[in-house]
């Protein structure tokens, strides 16, 4: 069994449902109000339990082999549990969308085409640069 799956009982790792084995693990910054709000939206959509949600903001996060907390906090990361393949940035979001129900799954199929992923990555990089301002003014901590 995968090391991330072995840690599913830890506080910062959870799945939405036990009905299905998760196919991906999403590593997110639970300390970022904008990120937490977005992840909360995706968690509600994941009624089939296809995603393992890993909050890497707290102390002693469950980091995949070869990754550390600062690296995971710097960009959005998704791990395919069957292959251990890591995806980040727009490619990570595309993989997350593919695990979500319709219409997100169809969006993921369209976004998986290289030119679309490339444009999404440009948008993602811009978002990373303005995220501190967006978080400060648009997403207040609750």
**C-beta of residue 32 within 8 angstroms of C-beta of residue 135:** yes
Per DSSP bridges, beta strands 13-15 and 24-28 are unpaired
User: Which letter does DSSP use for residue 25 in this model?
Assistant: E
Looking at the predicted structure, is the pLDDT value of residue 29 above 60?
yes
Check residue 126 and give its pLDDT: 94
Check residue 141 and give its pLDDT: 55
SS3 label, residue 99: helix
Percent of the chain with pLDDT over 70: 83
Token pair belonging to 97: 């969308």
Looking at the predicted structure, is the pLDDT value of residue 70 above 80?
yes
SS3 label, residue 36: helix
Write out pLDDT tens, residues 53-66: 999 998 889 899 99
């Amino acid at each position: 069994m995968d090391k991330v799956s072995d840690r599913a009982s830890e506080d910062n790792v959870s799945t939405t449902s036990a009905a299905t084995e998760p196919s991906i693990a999403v590593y997110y910054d639970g300390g970022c109000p904008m990120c937490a709000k977005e992840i909360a939206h995706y968690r509600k959509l994941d009624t089939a339990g296809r995603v393992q949600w890993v909050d890497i903001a707290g102390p002693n996060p469950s980091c995949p082999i070869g990754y550390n907390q600062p690296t995971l906090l710097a960009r959005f990361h998704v791990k395919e549990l069957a292959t251990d393949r890591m995806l980040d940035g727009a490619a990570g979001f595309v993989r997350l969308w593919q695990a979500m129900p319709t219409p997100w799954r169809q969006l993921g199929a369209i976004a998986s085409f290289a030119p679309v992923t490339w444009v999404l990555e440009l948008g993602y990089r811009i978002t990373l640069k303005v995220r501190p301002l967006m978080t400060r003014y648009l997403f207040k901590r609750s």
